[in-house]
């Protein structure tokens, strides 16, 4: 009897071990290229870089392979793309389409401007394998005073909550109050504050890191559970094998079970409760900073300190990923319920019933090998032209009559007003310029301009004078500036500094000849 019991025990244990080895985590560790695969995952992914664009990871794996081969290290004889696809089929990588506009652009590592880019992320099995390898490669043993104290404190706390005896619970609480009160009074009386040694802080830090490193795989398992539920519900909707009410009830039941019956779900609910308590989160962040202020932290690397301080961010990111999966699942349910057309389903059911009735009538006279030729798709109608728009009398109505607003029209401008808004009056400028120089009233073009009437002293007339001077040729001698006092049509005065030009007798004769020529024309 005992021998049979032993054989039964070893058989059951063998079955359990085989089942464990069939899981992706141990299959990853049992492969020939397991060290290479884990090294790639460790180099490509991190706590701050949880996903990588597919094309980028393919290129990175190709670069890793080339580096290893160049140093003589044995490496797989495949391309980066082929290896990533293989790892995805082995359930070590998960590929999904991610939107870079959701605020995760800094963590995806893709570096692309496209809105939707396919990304790889590690599955919970790969994260567990990495965690196991990190634990085996760690120099410091995890069995320490800190680990045992954590176990004892946790057991004491759970025992207090599990005991229904009111008196026993009160006794435990009074004992804790007495211990804390005694320590407070000792410090208040000036007692020595015993700071933890570097060795004790290292042990506590290793214990905390061991617990923190388990969080990503826990969150990933919850995320994968929701994603698997999502795929199953989508398949149920597409297959139409069950009524919608049953699918919804199944979704609600699985959601409740996921968050209450599994260790991952309970961890998620606990973290979610923690994140909703802002005071507790601020205290956690302050406590992390206090730990790193201890002298032992000087022995930690920059990456270790940065990773330790990002514990709060790790919690928030894990919560966001799970909630994103749940939101996608809820969106799928809502869209299917909104777009599901019950009327069309009933019409199709009526058509199928009519077909069954006709088949029953036909089978009364048809033989066992009789066939009916039917078209799977309806034929195409041969229509030369199909009217797209029909006659609309409104489209052929004339536009409404314009309103008579002539009474509100402003007064028409005079010819003089129009001339004041136009270009320079070249003929009048030549006449006035020749007259001013001949009378000896002007020594230069500027002084002549300043002696003109208001109608010939517009700013635009300066351009006319410059044009006339340019037609006479370039003046000899140094160039200096003189002021032109222009008068705008509204009466305002504007002063312009223009190169000084002296008119000679030959220049005056040339201007007079130009005027005579224009009059002759």
Predicted local distance difference test score (pLDDT) of residue 103: 43
Predicted local distance difference test score (pLDDT) of residue 255: 64
Count Cβ neighbours within 10 Å for each residue of 319-356 and write b for 16 or more, e otherwise: bebbeebbeebeebbeebeeeeeeeeeeeeeeeeeeee
- What is the distance between the alpha carbons of residues 479 and 450, in angstroms, rounded to a whole number? 19
H-run or E-run covering 485: strand 481-487
**Residue 411 contacts residue 417 (beta carbons within 8 Å):** no
Among 451, 433, 449, 442, which residue's Cα sits nearest to residue 484?
449
- What is the distance between the alpha carbons of residues 515 and 444, in angstroms, rounded to a whole number? 19
- What is the distance between the alpha carbons of residues 372 and 497, in angstroms, rounded to a whole number? 102
Predicted local distance difference test score (pLDDT) of residue 257: 64
- What is the distance between the alpha carbons of residues 185 and 179, in angstroms, rounded to a whole number? 10
Alpha helices in 473-504 (DSSP H): none
Predicted local distance difference test score (pLDDT) of residue 107: 42
Predicted local distance difference test score (pLDDT) of residue 114: 44
- What is the distance between the alpha carbons of residues 436 and 443, in angstroms, rounded to a whole number? 9
Q: Is the pTM of this model over 0.75?
A: no
Predicted local distance difference test score (pLDDT) of residue 325: 73
* Domains of the chain (ranges, CATH numbers): 2-125 (no CATH), 214-352 (1.20.58), 422-520 (no CATH)
CA quadruple 65, 69, 70, 71: dihedral, nearest 10: 110
- Quick one: how far is CA 26 from the chain centroid? 35
Whole-angstrom distance between the N-terminal and C-terminal Cα of the chain? Answer: 140
Give the pLDDT of the chain (521 residues) as one tens digit per residue.
555 555 567 777 777 777 767 777 777 777 778 888 888 888 888 777 878 889 899 999 989 888 888 888 888 888 888 889 888 888 888 887 765 444 444 444 444 444 568 888 888 788 878 777 776 666 554 555 556 666 667 667 667 767 778 888 888 888 888 888 888 888 888 877 777 777 777 777 777 777 777 777 777 777 777 777 767 766 666 665 566 667 667 766 766 665 665 555 666 666 676 667 777 777 777 887 887 788 887 888 787 788 778 777 777 777 777 777 777 777 766 776 666 665 666 677 788 888 888 888 888 788 777 887 777 777 777 777 777 778 888 878 888 888 888 888 888 888 877 777 788 888 888 888 888 887 777 778 888 888 888 888 888 888 888 888 888 776 656 678 889 899 888 888 999 998 888 877 777 778 777 765 555 44
Radius of gyration, CA atoms only, the chain: 46
Q: To which residue do tokens 């370039």 refer?
A: 474
């Amino acid at each position: 009897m005992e021998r049979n019991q032993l054989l039964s025990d070893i058989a059951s244990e063998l079955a359990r071990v085989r089942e464990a080895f069939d899981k992706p985590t141990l299959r990853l560790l049992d492969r020939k290229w397991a060290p290479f695969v884990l090294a790639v995952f460790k180099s490509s992914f991190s706590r701050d870089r949880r996903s990588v664009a597919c094309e980028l990871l393919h290129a990175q794996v190709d670069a890793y392979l080339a580096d290893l081969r160049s140093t003589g290290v044995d490496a797989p004889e495949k391309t980066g793309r082929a290896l990533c696809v293989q790892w995805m089929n082995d359930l070590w990588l998960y590929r999904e389409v991610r939107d870079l506009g959701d605020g995760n652009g800094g963590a995806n590592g893709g570096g692309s401007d496209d809105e939707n880019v396919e990304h790889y992320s590690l599955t919970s099995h790969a994260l567990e394998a990495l965690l196991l390898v990190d634990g085996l490669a760690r120099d410091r043993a995890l069995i320490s005073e800190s680990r045992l104290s954590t176990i004892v404190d946790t057991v004491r706390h759970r025992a207090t909550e599990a005991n229904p005896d009111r008196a026993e619970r009160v006794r435990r609480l009074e004992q804790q109050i007495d211990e804390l009160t005694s320590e407070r009074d000792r410090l208040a009386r000036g007692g020595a504050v015993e700071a933890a040694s570097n060795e004790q802080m290292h042990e506590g830090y290793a214990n905390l890191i061991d617990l923190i490193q388990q969080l990503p795989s826990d969150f990933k398992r919850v995320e994968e559970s929701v994603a698997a539920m999502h795929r199953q519900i989508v398949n149920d909707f597409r297959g139409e094998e069950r009524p919608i009410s049953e699918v919804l009830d199944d979704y609600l039941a699985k959601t409740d079970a996921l968050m209450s019956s599994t260790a991952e779900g309970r961890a998620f609910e606990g973290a979610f409760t923690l994140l909703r308590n802002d005071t507790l989160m601020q205290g956690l962040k302050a406590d992390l900073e206090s730990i790193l202020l201890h002298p032992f932290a000087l022995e930690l690397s920059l990456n270790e300190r940065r990773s330790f301080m990002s514990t709060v961010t790790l919690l928030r990111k894990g919560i966001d990923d799970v909630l994103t999966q749940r939101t996608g699942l809820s969106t799928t349910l809502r869209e299917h319920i909104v777009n599901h057309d019950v009327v069309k389903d009933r019409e199709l059911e009526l058509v199928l019933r009519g077909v069954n009735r006709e088949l029953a009538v036909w089978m009364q006279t048809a033989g066992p090998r009789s066939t009916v030729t039917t078209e799977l798709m309806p034929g195409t109608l041969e229509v030369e032209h199909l009217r797209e728009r029909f006659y609309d009398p409104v489209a052929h109505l004339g536009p409404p009559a314009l309103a008579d607003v002539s009474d509100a029209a402003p007064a028409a401008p005079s010819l003089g007003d129009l001339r004041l808004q136009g270009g320079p009056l070249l003929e009048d400028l030549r006449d006035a310029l020749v007259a001013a120089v001949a009378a000896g009233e002007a020594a230069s073009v500027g002084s002549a301009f300043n002696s003109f009437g208001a109608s010939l002293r517009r700013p635009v007339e300066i351009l006319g004078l410059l044009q006339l001077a340019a037609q006479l040729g370039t003046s000899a001698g140094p160039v200096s500036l003189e002021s032109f006092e222009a008068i705008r049509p509204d009466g305002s005065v504007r002063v312009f500094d223009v190169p000084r030009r002296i008119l000679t007798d030959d220049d005056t004769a040339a201007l007079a000849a130009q005027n005579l020529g224009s009059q002759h024309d």
